[in-house]
Amino acid sequence: MAISRIHPLFLLLLLLLRAFALLPTQAAARGGHDLSDDGDHGSISRNLLQDKPHITEEMTRGYMSNAELETAVHAFGSRCSNISRVYSIGKSVNDFPLLVIEISDKPRQREAEPAFKFIGNVHGDEPVGREVLMHLANWLCDNYLKDPLANLIVENMHLHILPTMNPDGFALRWRGNANNIDLNRDFPDQGALVANYPWDGTKDTGKRYYGCPDDKTFRHMASVYSQSHYNMSLSKEFEGGITNGALWYPIYGGMQDWNYIHGGCFELTLEISDTKWPKAVELSVIWEHNRMSMLNLLASLIKSGVHGRIFAADTGRPIPGSVTIKGIDSKVRASRTFGDYHRIIVSGEKYEVMASMEGFRPKSTRIVLEQEAVNLDFILEPDGDDGQMKLLRNDYGCRCGNGMMFHVEEAHIWLYLLVLCVVLTLYLVFKRKTASRLLAYRYSPRRPVAV
């Protein structure tokens, strides 16, 4: 995901998505579910003018308002500043700030660690996610340096929590945003309790099991959540409390599939309440039912899979290559800063792992992934001059597209020419002054030098 002139707000959103894209994430939701809908599935979002459920004041009592949620997020940032920072990715249609909590032992630094995101309340009439996510943030803050699981999570990843992605819909008490558009990603939806995984749709729009290349890994991730839940795995509707999205009901244009294809993100849709707007007194119970599921899913990112860095053999510097697994038609990209990658795969199997990058010779190795994560670094040999050029391009910090490279190189060429002209001018001036002094010295009387 070359970049030239971009609106600052869009750039912030893009950078946030890219930071998340390196690793498995959990967020999203199945949006716009309508069992009678047989219309155009190609649109990215669905207009829900007809979807305005009647939500009474009694139902909303006990839930944080948008203003109260904003205050709670900032209060958390102040109380837990040693392991968190609060930042904004923009504003909603009605100008409400979209605040994100980052939790890490080094929240303001880049590290060679995985990233994970939780997103809640993208459907305005499904507010459980925003409440539960604040419970999660506070639990991590309260238990850091006290609980081994909290320590593991805080010290080994960067967790990003967006409690509400649709504050306007929440304020209006309907599913869509202020423009009545379904943002198509959320936690609870249509009264289900299940961990849903890709694909969400099929090529022919049929309703059947349609697994993605990482189907086995997604089933594992969904099972980690379901098995850790109070009763999700006991579902009579979904075996083991998990389901393939296309088998449940196909949707198209959702965040879950899009991020997997375009960003390399591993996303689950977690339906954590069988009621869209449960009574506020039930929220603490829902949090307790989901607490270990959320924590164990976070921990599984650290405890399993293959992690490492990619380096250039000639310079020893990290490079942003890609990692693939033989037999799985998907790849993860290493970061530009540290060359680190994090690949979630199922334990108990043998894998052939390959690292590659344009301008370098690929390298592969076989591993046996048992119950613990494997650390695997790659050192790639440059493939002639092309590898060196590729490394130089990355040093410029560009996206390495041909158009962008032309502008970067052109700018540096003119800079070099300017410096060369200045040096030559100084040289000529110096030479002329030296010649004049030599002539004066040659034809003037000698003077005694006092020592």
Tell me the two tokens of residue 266: 């591993």
Are the C-beta atoms of residues 125 and 174 closer than 8 Å to each other?
A: yes
Task: Locate the DSSP E strands across 187-346.
Answer: 192-197, 242-244, 267-273, 306-312, 322-325, 328-333, 340-343
> Quick check: helix, strand or coil at residue 218?
helix
Q: Which of 70, 155, 271, 288 is catalytic?
A: 271
Tell me the two tokens of residue 204: 């022919």
Q: DSSP characters for 294-310?
A: HHHHHHHHHHSSEEEEE
Tell me, rounded to whole angstroms, the distance of Cα 59 from its chain centroid: 34
Interior angle at CA 27, CA 22 and CA 29, nearest 5: 130
Tell me, rounded to whole angstroms, the distance of Cα 2 from its chain centroid: 20
Query: What's the rounded Cα separation, in Å, for the pair 295 and 303?
Result: 12
Q: In the chain, what's the furthest Cα-to-Cα distance?
A: 112
Residue 159, beta-bridge partner list: 103, 116
The candidate with the shortest Cα–Cα distance to 175, out of 301, 87, 66, 50, is 50
Tell me the two tokens of residue 221: 């991730």
Helices (H) and strands (E) in the chain — how many of each? 12, 18
Tell me the two tokens of residue 67: 């203003």
Altogether, the residues listed in the chain come to a count of 451
Query: What's the rounded Cα separation, in Å, for the pair 347 and 153?
Result: 20
User: What is the DSSP-derived secondary structure letter of residue 108?
Assistant: T
Catalytic annotation present for 271: yes
Query: What's the rounded Cα separation, in Å, for the pair 99 and 165?
Result: 9
Are the C-beta atoms of residues 335 and 320 closer than 8 Å to each other?
A: yes
Catalytic residues: 271
